[in-house]
Copies of this chain bind each other. A is one copy, B any other.
Amino acid sequence: MHDKQMNVLRAEPGHGRGGGGQRPIMLAIAGDSGTGKTTLTKGLVDALGPDRITSVAADDYHRYDRNERKSLPFTPLHPKCNYIDIMEQHLQHLAFGQPILKPVYNHDTGMLDRPEYVEPREFVIIEGLLPLHTKMARACFDISVYLDPPEELRIAWKLSRDTKKRGYTEDEVRADLKKREPESERFIRPQRERADIVVRFAPIEERGETVNDPLSAKLILRPTIDHPELHQILGDDTNEAMHMTLSRTEGGKPADAVHIHSYAKPEITTKVEQAIWDQLGVDAPLPESLGRLDNDSDGRDEPLALTQLLLLYHLIQAQEALAGAGAGAGVDGD
């Protein structure tokens, strides 16, 4: 199948409706190693519950195990180090509601393990290094996100995770980062211009904040998908929590920039969150799992919560649009 066929088939109302209902809504979360993909994903999975949403790690499509990679001239960031064609194949199956036998890369042992049978749910998240690398892969997604923290912050996050959870020393992580940099530039960062939403968690330097302070978020919203009507939601009184400006992407394309401030008072961020949630018309309270950081703190990170909420908005909105298109097409056809 060509990517264009995929786009056409996916646009067809009711396509993929079988015993399992309409086709899944597919969300890509792309970003370099240590950019917070897992943390962002977890809040969404917890909000919708494992009966409604599945997440797949694109790292599972690694072609070589850790030992084999030692003698190779490239890092896991290189497309040649991954079964990109098989990932595309599996994305197509998932996008049409079909199961896959997903390979498994074990981050603890560095080995390629026994594959897992994965059935898509209503929503599927693919998070990893290269989900937006090819045209065909991009054609499979309804919503795409690129995580783009400042390099200093990413290094701090990666050091912390790889030394605490993956058994590497700090020197090993730093040497690895250096080796990966040319491939980050060549293969990972070009995905930023392909995403519907670019998320940048960062300290606000003008306020003297560092990477150890609570982070603000800047979201670049490209007009490639329909974003919520934030202009209506964001009044003068919510400016402290969040504001929106007309902006450009790094590649120079027009986009909205949404700033979510870490220092906003909870009563104001809650008001914004509730307003976004209300736009969806969902008969359920705002999910409590949003904004949970991947550490021991019980606190809620408001910029993370608002970012996750925006993605949740898109997931639910895309599903409603698909259901509506199906119903509408049925009427037209009669």
Contacts and interface: CB of A to CB of B under 8 A. Distances in A.
Contacts of A99: 85-86
Interface in A82-119: 83, 85-86, 89, 93, 98-101, 103, 111-115, 117
Interface residues of A, number: 18
A268 to B, nearest CB: 49
Chain A interface SS verdict (over half): mixed
A113 B85 CA distance: 21
Contacts of A86: 99-101, 117
A63 interface: yes
A202 to B, nearest CB: 38
Nearest to A102: B101
B103 A115 contact: yes
A99 B86 CA distance: 8
Contact of A114 (B85, B93, B98, B111): B111
Interface in A234-273: none
A89 B83 contact: no
Given A113-B114, A114-B111, A89 B98 contact: yes
Contacts of A112: 114-115
Q: Which of A63, A65, A89, A101 has the most CB of B within 10 A?
A: A101
16 contacts: A65-B114, A83-B101, A83-B117, A85-B98, A86-B100, A86-B101, A89-B98, A89-B100, A101-B101, A101-B103, A101-B115, A103-B115, A111-B114, A112-B114, A112-B115, A115-B115
